[in-house]
């Protein structure tokens, strides 16, 4: 088995990322492996305070650049306190979102310059990327409907459908650019089938 494996889950709202990340972490722990489950924005005490700022519907006036800087601030703290120490000791880190989300949401969704995002990313993460990224893909209407059914309404879920279409397009473009790292999974499938596909990919990564 490899040491220190970094896994991310990505996708638009309502794809079931959090559920699948949790199921994977539980499966790996049952196998006796150290699996750290975390999320962005968040993952640390400081990151959780930034998360509250970013996701609160009360902050609808937040400028796109403010949003971008806050995401990278949270990510820097996350790497320093959680991700890098865990990887160093040989753990498997599973994060619900990482830099791909910033590119998709703030780059494609908000229309911020992708070169600016890459420049900030080189400072905040030194260009670090997960070993494998599981992109759960779903049409925008279904994803938003799922979240509303669970009464989830953060600042991003309140954006119009065209915003979410741009974000999904961004994710799919990233997947096309990096097929070796980003594995596309149909999130319209039943939860158990998605979990099986996730496990097949991760088993190949860990025990190949």
Q: What is the 3-state secondary structure (H, E, C) of 96-149?
A: ECCHHHHHHHHHHHCCCCHHHHHHHHHHHCCCCCCCEEEEEECCHHHHHHHHHH
Query: What pLDDT sits at residue 208?
Result: 62
pLDDT in tens, the chain (208 residues): 447 999 999 999 889 999 999 999 999 999 999 999 999 999 999 999 999 999 999 999 999 999 999 999 999 999 999 999 999 999 999 999 999 999 999 999 999 999 999 999 999 999 999 999 999 999 988 877 876 666 566 788 778 899 999 999 999 999 999 999 999 999 999 999 999 999 999 998 887 6
Distances (CA, A) of 98 to 70, 78, 104, 112: 13, 10, 11, 17
Nearest 5°: phi and psi at 13?
A: -65, 140
**CATH at residue 129:** 3.40.50.300
Structural domain range at position 26: 5-207
Whether the predicted model's global pTM rises above the 0.85 cut? yes
Query: What pLDDT sits at residue 203?
Result: 93
Domains in the chain, number: 1
Distances (CA, A) of 139 to 109, 136, 177, 205: 15, 10, 20, 28
Query: What pLDDT sits at residue 1?
Result: 44
Query: What pLDDT sits at residue 158?
Result: 79
Burial class (CB in 10 A: 0-12, 13-18, 19+), 62: middle
Which helix (H) or strand (E) is 6 found in, with range?
Answer: strand 5-10
Scan for tokens 């989830």, then name that residue: 152
Query: What pLDDT sits at residue 88?
Result: 96
Scan for tokens 């990482």, then name that residue: 98
**SS3 state of residue 187:** coil
């Amino acid at each position: 088995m490899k040491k220190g494996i970094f896994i991310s889950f990505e996708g638009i709202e309502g794809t079931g990322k959090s559920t699948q990340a949790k199921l994977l972490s539980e499966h790996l722990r049952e196998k006796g492996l150290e699996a750290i489950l975390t999320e962005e924005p968040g993952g640390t005490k400081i990151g959780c305070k930034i998360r509250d700022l970013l996701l609160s519907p009360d902050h609808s006036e937040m400028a796109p650049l403010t949003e971008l800087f806050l995401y990278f601030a949270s990510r820097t703290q996350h790497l320093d306190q959680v991700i890098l120490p865990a990887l160093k000791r040989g753990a498997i880190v599973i994060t619900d979102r990482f830099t791909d989300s910033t590119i998709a949401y703030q780059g494609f969704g908000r229309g911020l310059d992708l070169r600016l995002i890459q420049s900030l990313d080189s400072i905040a993460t030194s260009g670090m990327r997960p070993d494998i990224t599981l992109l759960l893909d779903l049409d925008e209407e279904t994803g938003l409907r799922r979240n509303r059914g669970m009464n989830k309404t953060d600042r991003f879920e309140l954006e119009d459908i065209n915003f979410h279409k741009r974000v999904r397009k961004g994710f799919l473009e990233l997947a096309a650019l990096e097929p070796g790292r980003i594995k596309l999974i149909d999130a319209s499938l039943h939860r158990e089938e998605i979990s099986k596909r996730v496990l097949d990919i991760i088993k190949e990564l860990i025990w190949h």
